[in-house]
Amino acid sequence: MLEILDYFRHALTQEKIKWVDPGVMHITIAFLGETDESIIQSVSDIIKQAALGHPPFGLDFRSTGIFRNLHDPRVIWIGTEPNPVMQSIKSELDNELLKFGFEKETREFRPHLTLGRIKYLKNKSALEEALKLFRDQDVQKEMINELIYYESILKPAGPEYIPIINVPLSGR
């Protein structure tokens, strides 16, 4: 994955793109936004239950893409192949979080790693060429062994992610 990130950085070096630090790359299963401190423990308990009910799983990263479109690209990403364990975790979390006033996401769940957030792009053809190069290509396989509940603090240099809990996947 780092090779692909480096390729995009090099190919789009003159563009205004905020590249993601590889050390904080993650897949967001549920984005909660501002969360009242009084329910953080309950949310943590929901995540613990989901982790207890699901085993570790392999995740195949495959292909690159963008959110929005080539006329107005906003995010460059590496996607994943569909995975039934991850989808089950997503569904369980969504259903349990409803009890605390969180709404289900209406958009289709498209798990991905964000490579960069585009501020302004002059050379759309360079982006298109880079995307074509990695479209439908297997990138790598990773074992997913835990769920992490993060607090995200937005800072000028980029978001800071502070783990609230890390829970190993331990279901059978």
Whole-prediction pTM = 0.91
**Alpha-carbon distances of 91 from 14, 60, 95, rounded to whole Å:** 40, 20, 6
16-36: per-residue pLDDT in tens?
A: 999 999 999 999 999 999 899
Q: Give the other-Cβ count within 10 Å of 164's Cβ.
A: 14
DSSP secondary structure letters along 97-109: HGGGTPPPP-SPP
Could you give the percent of the chain with pLDDT greater than 70? 99
* Closest to 131 (Cα-Cα) out of 53, 77, 50: 77
CA dist., res. 12 & res. 26, Å (int): 22
Domain that holds residue 61: 2-168
For residue range 82-108, list pLDDT tens digits in order: 999 999 999 999 999 999 999 988 889
Residue 155 main-chain phi, psi, to 5 deg: -130, 160
Q: Give the CATH number, domain containing residue 104.
A: 3.90.1140.10
Could you read off the pLDDT of 106-159 as tens digits, one per residue?
889 999 999 999 999 999 999 999 999 999 899 999 999 999 999 999 888 788
Q: Which residues are catalytic?
A: 26, 112
| 57-77 residue pLDDT tens | 999 999 999 999 999 999 999
Query: Does pLDDT of 41 surpass 80?
Result: yes
Give me the number of domains the chain comprises.
1
